[in-house]
Amino acid sequence: MTELGLRVAITLTQISVIVGIVIITVLLLTLAERKVLGWMQDRMGPMEVGPYGSLQPFADAIKLFFKEDIVPAGANKFLFTAAPLLALIPAFIGFAVIPWGPDLTWEFGGLSIKPFVISDINIGILYILAFASLGAYGIILGGWASNSKYSLLGGLRSAAQIISYELNVGLAIVGVLILSGSLSLVHITNAQAGGFWNWNAFAFPAPQIFALVVYVISTVAETNRVPFDLPEAESELVAGFFTEYSGLRFAFFYLAEYANMVLVSCVASAMFLGGWNAPYPGTLLSLIGLPSLAWIENTMWFAFKTYSFLFLFFWLRATLPRLRYDQLMRFGWKVLLPIALANIVVTSIAVFIAQQLK
Amino acid sequence: MTTPSATPTRLNLREWLKTITFYEIFVGMKATLMHLLQYKPVTLQYPHEKRTLPDNYRGMLALLRYDDGTEKCVGCDLCEAACPSRVIRVVSAEVPGEPTKRYSKEYYMDMTRCLFCGMCVDACPVDALGMTREFEWAVYDKRQLHLNKQQLLAIGDRSFPVREKRLEFQHPNTAFFNVAFKHVPPKPD
């Protein structure tokens, strides 16, 4: 009984630490996005709250917290309330299987715990994809329950877009799964150890570089970011599916969007760019005689890769205009899907030949 | 009917390579990255720092006084006639005890309509109107922009601390034509 209690306590601690890190990252991202966008467009970004606007996320959070919570007349109250939660929970739940650091096992109170992954389930990536699809329900229901044309159109667009591009995300990942022979993110990351030439994006016998490009483009579409931000196109649909939302519910949608960005960046770095593995064999800290602290270096590498992907999201947003709807669909189905399929075929053949030659 | 662009173009290898490598997207991304690296913001943090106004800046209107504190305005109504948006309303009256002189008994400006063209300033024969360099006149109530004579004189007092002499003490040419002739020496005091 005490063992169970201890395990629950440890797991809850891990969950709260990781959720805390994700929420802090989201707060940072809201500021970083506005700053980076501003700098790229020769502006300054937020400058008023705190030194150089550094406290802007807290001001935004306080403002959203104290805003009036409006439910529009004619809205379906239950779904209107449920939709932000349906968007938020799947965005956060995926972090349970992300390996943040090396696959260590620490002994604590007679229990062996894995400190850097909450739950190493053997179908990790499938679990993330399944919950990412559930997140689409939050957006669609939010659009429908608002009883507003703009919201409904935003929800519809988002439904079509997420279904189209989720397919490409799934197919882009298949190549990696063939290479590593596992669905567990921990196992996939472990298999990429020992230098950047072992990362799945560059790995022998079938480099997944095209799959990486397809994955990144598709996740930009899946998280409703520019240039695929049709579900929330300001110039066409006011704010898309969250037009009618205000206050804390709006904050939930906002949080979900950014948490989704962090999640897909984590998955991209874990699947394609070696996760917490450094681009050189081993770690520098164990070379200089501190192998017990090597996890710090590994975690930093994971953070660096994830933040690079997030920077790419901002960079794309600062550069590209929004696609038209038919362009979006044509690009997804006629360009990305064939590339992803061809990648699967080529990877399968290459892996088969490599196994025969071994 | 021939359509100009209907001629089939040969498969251009260069264009095709550019398309599949997202060449033009990378050109755009390089441009944004260069702006990030060579960060020179054009923003002016407005309430904290202000841009220098041009010399002929046309700001808030004001009524002026002579150096002895008397009002310049003679109540001639020319500004009211010149104003294209009917901002100005003048109620002219005789100066009490001096039947040959007039002044503006009441003078109103509805600054919600003013477009700061400066025609009233041009029209004034005695230079009683002036344009200050004030522009921060945002108010919570529109009625606060309906200014009376006292308010306009107060704006003139704080914007033009250096005042002219009364007309009769100035050079006769200046007094008559309302312009100064530089080659004519000014009248000694």
Task: Name the token pair of A331.
Answer: 């690009």
Map residue A178 onto helix, strand or coil.
Answer: helix
The CA distance from B144 to B129, in Å, is: 20
For chain B, the structural domain boundaries read 61-177
Instruction: Verify whether the Cβ–Cβ distance B32 to A47 is below 8 Å.
Output: no
Number of residue pairs across A and B with CB atoms under 8 Å? Answer: 37
Query: Is pLDDT above 70 for A347?
Result: yes
What's the confidence (pLDDT) of residue B4?
A: 53
Task: Name the token pair of A269.
Answer: 């770095």
ipTM: 0.72
Dihedral in degrees, nearest 10, Cα atoms B39, B45, B48, B53? 110
- For residue A40, the chain B residue with the least C-alpha distance is B36
Find the chain B residues whose C-beta atoms sit closer than 8 A to any C-beta of A: 25, 28-29, 31-33, 35-36, 39-43, 45
> Looking at beta carbons, which residues of chain A come within 8 Å of B41?
38-39, 42-44
**Contact status, residue B58 vs residue B131, Cβ threshold 8 Å:** yes
**Contact status, residue A224 vs residue A127, Cβ threshold 8 Å:** no
Instruction: Verify whether the Cβ–Cβ distance A39 to B28 is below 8 Å.
Output: no
A40/chain B closest Cα distance in angstroms: 5
B7/chain A closest Cα distance in angstroms: 24
Summarize pLDDT for A134-169 with one digit per residue, the tens: 888 888 888 888 888 888 888 888 888 888 888 889
Instruction: Verify whether the Cβ–Cβ distance A42 to B40 is below 8 Å.
Output: yes
List C-alpha distances in Å: B92 to A109, B75, B105: 97, 5, 5
> Looking at beta carbons, which residues of chain B come within 8 Å of A36?
36
The CA distance from A115 to A121, in Å, is: 14
Instruction: Verify whether the Cβ–Cβ distance A39 to B41 is below 8 Å.
Output: yes
Query: Is pLDDT above 60 for B179?
Result: no
Asked if omega into A205 is within 30° of 0 (cis), the reply is yes
When pLDDT is averaged across residues A296-309 and rounded to a whole number, the result is 88
pTM here is: 0.80
The CA distance from A315 to A40, in Å, is: 8
Instruction: Verify whether the Cβ–Cβ distance A42 to B28 is below 8 Å.
Output: no
Higher pLDDT, A2 or A306: A306
Query: Is pLDDT above 50 for B1?
Result: no
Summarize pLDDT for A87-113 with one digit per residue, the tens: 888 888 888 888 888 877 777 777 777
Summarize pLDDT for B56-74 with one digit per residue, the tens: 889 899 999 888 888 888 8
CATH topology assigned to domain B61-177: Alpha-Beta Plaits (3.30.70)
The CA distance from A264 to A267, in Å, is: 5
* Short-list A246, A230, A250, CA closest to A84: A250
> Looking at beta carbons, which residues of chain B come within 8 Å of A44?
41, 43, 45
Q: What's chain B's Rg over C-alpha atoms?
A: 29
> Looking at beta carbons, which residues of chain B come within 8 Å of A41?
32, 35
* Residue A319 contacts B, CB cutoff 8 Å: yes
B148/chain A closest Cα distance in angstroms: 37
Residue written as token pair 């579409």: A221
Query: Is pLDDT above 60 for B173?
Result: no
**Contact status, residue B164 vs residue B66, Cβ threshold 8 Å:** yes
Instruction: Verify whether the Cβ–Cβ distance B35 to A320 is below 8 Å.
Output: no
Among the residue ranges A237-246, A308-317, B19-28, the one predicted with the least confidence is A237-246
H or E element in which residue A126 lies: helix A124-145
Instruction: Verify whether the Cβ–Cβ distance B35 to A47 is below 8 Å.
Output: no
- Greatest mean pLDDT among A114-118, A328-332, B161-165: A328-332
The CA distance from A231 to A150, in Å, is: 9
Query: Is pLDDT above 90 for B140?
Result: yes
